[in-house]
Amino acid sequence: MTVIAHLSDPHFGTEIPAVVDALQAALHALQPDLVIVSGDMTQRARKHEFRSARNFLDRLKVPAIMVIPGNHDIPLFNVVARALTPYRNYCDAFGAPCGMWTDTDTIVMALDSTNPARHTRGKLRTGQLADLASRIPPSMTPRLRIACAHQPLHTAWLEDQHEVLIDAGNAAAAFAGHDIDIVLSGHVHVPLVTTTREAFPELRRHFILSGAGTAVSHRTRPGAPNSFNVITTCPESAVRSVKVAIWRFNPESGHFAVHQVTQFHLGASGWEPV
* Structural domain boundaries in the chain: 3-273
pLDDT above 70 (res 236): no
- pLDDT at res. 136: 83
Q: Which residues lie below 8 Å from residue 8, measured CB to CB, with a gap of 6+? A: 37, 38, 39, 40, 70, 150, 185, 186, 187, 211, 212, 213, 214, 215, 228
- The Cα 42–Cα 51 span in angstroms is 10
- pLDDT at res. 108: 97
CB of 233 closer than 8 Å to CB of 28: no
Confidence of residue 271 (pLDDT cuts 50, 70, 90): very high
DSSP, collapsed to helix, strand or coil, labels residue 6 as strand
DSSP strands (E only) in 45-140:
65-68, 100-102, 106-110
Tally Cβ neighbours within 10 Å of residue 63. Answer: 12
Strand-pair category, 34-38 with 3-7 = parallel
Nearest CA to 105 out of 242, 224, 210 is that of 242
pLDDT in tens, 73-95: 999 988 888 889 889 999 999 99
pLDDT in tens, 104-147: 999 999 999 999 999 899 999 989 998 888 888 777 777 899 99
- pLDDT at res. 238: 58
| Mean pLDDT for the stretch of residues 40-68 | 97
User: How much is the mean pLDDT over the chain?
Assistant: 95
| Mean pLDDT for the stretch of residues 161-176 | 98
Q: Which residues of 67-85 are buried (b: 16+ CB within 10 A; e: fewer)?
A: bbbbbbbbbeebeebeeee
Nearest CA to 111 out of 126, 94, 98, 130 is that of 98
pLDDT in tens, 186-220: 999 999 999 999 999 999 999 999 999 999 999 99
CB of 178 closer than 8 Å to CB of 146: no
246 φ/ψ sector (left φ>0, alpha ψ -120 to 50, else beta) = beta
First and final C-alpha spacing in the chain: 19
Nearest CA to 104 out of 34, 48, 41 is that of 34
- The vertex-88 CA angle with 83 and 93, nearest 5°, equals 150
Architecture of domain 3-273: 4-Layer Sandwich (3.60)
- pLDDT at res. 237: 65
Question: Which helix or strand (DSSP H or E) is residue 262 part of?
Answer: strand 255-267
CB of 211 closer than 8 Å to CB of 183: no
- The Cα 213–Cα 9 span in angstroms is 7
